[in-house]
Amino acid sequence: MLTIAYIGNGKSTNRYHLPFVAKLNDKIRVKTIFSPSGKVTWDMLPETMYTTEINDILNDPEIQLVVVTTPGSLHYHYGKLLLENGKNALIEKPFTETAAEAKELFQLAEEKNLFIQCYQNRRFDSDFLTVQKVIESGKLGDILEVEMHYDYFRPEIPEEANYSQINSYLYGHGCHTIDQVLSYFGEPDAIHYDVRQLLGEGRMNDYFDLDFYYNRTKVSVKSSYFRLKERPSFVVYGKKGSFVKQTKDRQEEHLKLFYLPNHPDFGIDLPEHYGVLTYMDHDGVYHEEKVISEVGDYSRVYEGVYQSIIHGKEKIIKDKETLLQMKILEEGSSGLK
């Protein structure tokens, strides 16, 4: 068993972590959850200690891994504190505020022979996994362009928020899609940044459009708080056709309804959610077909962490990928006021 603890007891821990850890209850045990306020607004786990004392985690030799789900501004602080106290760490995204902070944490972990990794669960989104399946089928031929959209209509958020780099839209939402790009396509040859503060200086950046160039292929990550009608989640263009996945992964949708992963149809697309693949085959015959969506599963991050700590397997989210993402987030935010 891998015995773990949490720093943070809010929505992140209870909605995006614990339901997936529960799927691996034969491998992972949640022993302690720390929150400085002691406020509990979610159902408490049986046989788990809830505490306002951080030393209940730091001084417990049974705890092998600590998951940090605090606001991003505290990630570096807690990551360093855990490593200095001999604890392995899994840090929510964005991992840190700067690439220098991330590099320091990775170096410290290496010096102490400890594990530290970013929690990049969106690698296991259904729509993203389905796009990979379509690309690898070869039916689109050479891939020319990929568009990835992560849209909301939540104008009240940037209206109320003042600018803070770590809590900005680029950091808070770009960390999802940028990681998907880097995990599948690798390090780009070049990047073009278009990051805006639509409401003016001193306000949150609320729009971004990043283009990643890979030889002849362009991968674009686009996101806005002001899209009353969302753009497709993914559009892929190849020399022989295109694939359009209109709807996002449904795991978050179900979690918000407290419909949890213990249901067999959790997060699974219905036929109306399937993407449409349109292409010309080798004989010049036109095809248009729906593609059954892959099954997303955020517990795969925890499975990977378990395998790394207990069995010494390679990390599924590599240090160099996290460092590159932090560099991109920093560069994208530079020049904003």
SS3 54: coil
pLDDT score at 75: 97
Count CB atoms within 10 A of the CB of residue 240.
16
Say whether both 231 and 290 belong to one domain.
yes
Classify residue 111: in a domain, yes or no. Answer: yes
Which structural domain, as residue segments, surrounds residue 278? 125-295
How many domains is the chain built from?
2
CATH number at residue 178: 3.30.360.10
Classify residue 235: in a domain, yes or no. Answer: yes
| Predicted model pTM | 0.95
Strand order of the β-sheet with 275-280 is 190-196, 207-214, 217-224, 143-149, 234-238, 241-245, 275-280, 286-291
By DSSP bridging, strand 241-245 and strand 143-149 are unpaired
Say whether both 312 and 198 belong to one domain.
no
pLDDT score at 273: 98
pLDDT score at 18: 98
Residues of the chain with pLDDT under 70: 335-337
pLDDT score at 205: 86
Where does the chain have alpha helices with state H?
A: 11, 18-21, 55-58, 75-84, 99-111, 126-137, 156-160, 169-185, 251-256, 299-311, 319-333
pLDDT score at 307: 98
Classify residue 335: in a domain, yes or no. Answer: no
Classify residue 337: in a domain, yes or no. Answer: no
pLDDT score at 256: 94
Say whether both 113 and 88 belong to one domain.
yes
CATH number at residue 113: 3.40.50.720
Say whether both 96 and 25 belong to one domain.
yes
